[in-house]
């Protein structure tokens, strides 16, 4: 089998550490040899149970052996893997299955429960299902002798992102995309077979692919992180010898709130990686203090550019001076890629604009071409992806995230960056974190902020903000929360806060309860 295939990375780990632990699930350690054998058997059963080789197979499972060995089984069978999350509404899952033209499902017990709802909604697919927890019956077909190969332009997996139309957009990522990405990652990091990787993400979130195939390519272990252990995270990391941490930055706030960010509390970590949201300098510094032996990185990239496409390595001496609005730079774009900053008129800028990227990690396009309208740009004979992110080029050439293009709003004729308001509010006494949103008011667009920390009188906050912000940028409403709600990808759910701002009557007198907590069962 050629080395281009994504699953060649697992085979590399198998060669390095055949009896080593590939993944721990439900308190049980599964060796590389055992996961490989399961994947070959399940791949054989898939191919035997269908009239022809499937184009795509869905993996509808939580963080268990069915999802990990199941993902490999689909790749071993020469099909495209479509990771799905069992707790999503069945109607949404049905749309995803239809969009990706999934021919069969591999499910665990949670996924099996969803299939009945799918059938009731008019979608009844062949499936491999467990007879008991941790096993899948193979009723026909022999195990494959070896995994199928893959060409560079074959699709390895399809993931879904939220679309402006209200329906998820299917993003295919090829074996060639992942081959370039993980080759670069191998050169950037010193992962080895002794490492243990956290997995805070579910397989339907692209960052999970980093955890799995970085670990497996090095012969290392993947350790899922259940939601409840965040209350005792330092103990969990120590007990399981976790050396590589990867999560969204929201995880830092959660661990701090639960008392786990004491200096030196996470000594086993060698690498600490954050992506999916803007990383605050204060969070990076606090995490670095808690994990003093760890190298902290802010890595950035949309799903369409294969997990991450840039990175900044935190340095306690130099990084704080590079931050803008308190946010850590996203660093430099990966080698082999070109990037451009474009103004609102699509003219190139040397200093600030929308980040557009082209290169070997770029998806070939959405499965539904209509989803690509306005997202891609033909320029200089190449196809570029418009990230929708406004960035600034620093004097050292690195990029720093300023906010989403749609996060720049007009208030009383003044162009306002919501990130700037959030940064200013975090500087107010007693405020830990802040999210700014807008709503339609009697006099036009109004600013509403939600914040965590110590409750304060709105007037006191407004007085502090007027010292650093123009009057038009000072929010009208201040709503204290014990914690911010998180969306299924564990990012702060800004859309939910915006809806709350729009429909909830004004009440600045008391504390608002959090709209949600870190899920006890992850929802990547």
C-alpha to C-alpha distance for 496 and 504, rounded to whole angstroms: 12
CB atoms within 10 A of CB 49: 16
Q: Give the residue among 40, 39, 115 at the shortest CA–CA distance from 71.
A: 39
Structure tokens that stand for 461 in this block: 């906050």
- Give the pLDDT band of residue 167 (cuts 50, 70, 90): low
Query: What pLDDT score was predicted for residue 502?
Result: 87
CB within 8 Å of 89: residues ≥ 6 apart = none
What is the pLDDT confidence band of residue 17, given thresholds at 50, 70 and 90?
A: very high
Lowest mean pLDDT among 249-258, 389-398, 471-480, 483-492: 483-492
Beta strands (DSSP E) in 394-480 are: 399-404, 408-411, 414-417, 431-441, 444-453, 477-480
413-439 confidence digits (pLDDT tens): 565 778 888 989 999 999 999 999 988
- Higher-pLDDT residue of 310 and 130 is 310
Residue 158's closest CA among 374, 369, 363? Answer: 363
Question: CB count, 10 Å around CB of 496?
Answer: 16
**Tokens in use for 62?**
């939580």
CA angle 472, 349, 419 (to 5 degrees): 30
With cut-offs at 50, 70 and 90, classify the pLDDT of residue 90: confident
Look at residue 73 and tell me whether its pLDDT is greater than 90.
Answer: yes
Q: What is the pLDDT of residues 265-278, one digit of tens each?
A: 999 999 999 998 88
* DSSP code, position 168: P
Distance CA 267, CA 237 (A): 9
Task: State the pLDDT confidence band at 134, using cuts at 50, 70 and 90.
Answer: very low
* CB-based burial label for 214 (10 Å; 0-12, 13-18, 19+): buried
Judged against a pLDDT cut of 80, whether residue 411 lies above it is answered with no
Which of these, 473, 484, 337, lies nearest to 399 by C-alpha position? 337
Structure tokens at 266: 């996470």
pTM of the model: 0.83
pLDDT at 508 (0 to 100): 42
Query: Residue 346's pLDDT band (boundaries 50, 70, 90)?
Result: very high
Token couple for 150: 């893959």
Domains of the chain: 8-224 (3.40.50.12780), 331-404 (2.30.38.10), 412-503 (3.30.300.30)
The pLDDT score that the predictor gives to residue 34 is 97
pLDDT number for residue 135: 41
Residue 514 has pLDDT above 50, yes or no: no
At residue 84 the predicted structure's pLDDT band, cuts being 50, 70 and 90, is very high
Q: Which is more confidently placed, 26 or 507?
A: 26
pLDDT value of position 410? 62
End-to-end CA distance of the chain: 31
Check pLDDT > 70 for residue 247: yes
At residue 1, the pLDDT reads 62
> Which range is least confidently modeled, 226-230, 326-330, 350-354?
226-230
Query: What gap in Å lies between CA 170 and CA 334, rounded to an integer?
Result: 24
Q: State the average pLDDT for the chain.
A: 89
Q: How far is CA 39 from CA 45, 65, 138, 189, 351, in A?
A: 10, 10, 11, 28, 49
What local confidence, expressed as pLDDT, does residue 168 receive?
78
Distance CA 107, CA 124 (A): 13
Q: Give the mean pLDDT of 140-152.
A: 89
pLDDT of residue 337: 98
């Amino acid at each position: 089998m050629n080395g281009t295939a994504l699953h060649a990375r697992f085979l590399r780990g198998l060669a390095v550490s055949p009896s080593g632990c590939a993944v721990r699930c439900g308190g049980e350690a599964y060796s590389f040899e055992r996961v490989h054998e399961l994947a070959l058997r399940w791949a054989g059963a898939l191919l035997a149970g269908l009239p022809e080789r499937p184009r795509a197979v869905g993996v509808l499972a939580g963080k268990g052996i069915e999802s990990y060995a199941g993902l490999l089984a689909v790749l071993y069978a020469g099909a495209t893997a479509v990771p799905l999350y069992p707790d999503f509404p069945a109607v949404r899952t049905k749309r995803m299955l239809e969009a990706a033209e999934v021919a069969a499902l591999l499910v665990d017990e949670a996924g099996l429960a969803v299939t009945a709802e799918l059938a009731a909604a008019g979608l009844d697919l062949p499936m491999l299902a467990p007879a008991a927890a941790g096993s899948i019956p193979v009723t026909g077909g022999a195990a494959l002798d070896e995994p199928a190969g893959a060409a560079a332009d074959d699709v390895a997996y399809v993931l879904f992102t939220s679309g402006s139309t209200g329906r998820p957009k299917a993003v295919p990522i090829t074996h060639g995309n992942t081959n370039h990405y993980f080759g670069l990652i191998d050169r950037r990091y010193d992962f080895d077979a002794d490492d243990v990787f956290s997995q805070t993400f579910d397989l339907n979130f692209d960052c999970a692919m980093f955890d799995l195939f970085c670990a497996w390519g090095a012969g290392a272990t993947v350790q899922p992180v259940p939601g409840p252990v965040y209350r005792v995270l330092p103990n969990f990391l120590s007990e399981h010898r976790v050396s590589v941490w990867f999560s969204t930055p929201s995880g830092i706030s959660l661990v701090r709130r639960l008392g786990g960010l004491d200096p030196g509390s996470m000594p086993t970590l060698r690498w600490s990686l954050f992506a999916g949201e803007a990383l605050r300098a204060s969070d990076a510094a606090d995490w670095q203090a808690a994990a003093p032996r760890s190298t902290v990185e802010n890595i950035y990239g949309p799903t369409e550019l294969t997990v991450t496409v840039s990175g900044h390595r935190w340095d306690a001496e130099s990084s704080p001076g590079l931050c803008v609005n308190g946010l850590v730079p996203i660093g430099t774009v990966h080698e082999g890629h070109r990037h451009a900053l474009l103004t609102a008129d699509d003219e190139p800028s040397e200093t600030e604009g929308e980040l557009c990227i082209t290169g070997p990690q770029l998806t070939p396009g959405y499965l539904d071409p209509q989803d690509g309208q306005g997202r891609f740009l033909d320029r200089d004979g190449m196809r570029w992806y418009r990230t929708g992110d406004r960035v600034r080029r620093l004097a050292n050439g690195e990029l720093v995230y300023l906010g989403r293009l749609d996060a720049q709003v007009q208030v009383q004729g003044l162009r306002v960056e919501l990130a700037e308001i959030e940064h200013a509010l975090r500087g107010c006494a007693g405020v830990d974190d802040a999210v700014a949103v807008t709503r339609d008011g009697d006099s036009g667009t109004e600013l509403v902020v939600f914040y965590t920390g110590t409750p304060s009188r709105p007037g006191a906050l407004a007085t502090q903000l007027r010292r650093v912000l123009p009057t038009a940028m000072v929010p009208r409403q201040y709503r204290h929360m014990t914690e911010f709600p998180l969306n299924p990808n564990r990012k702060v759910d800004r859309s939910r806060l915006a809806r709350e701002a729009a429909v909830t009557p004004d009440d600045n007198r008391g504390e608002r309860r959090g709209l949600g907590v870190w899920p006890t069962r992850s929802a990547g």
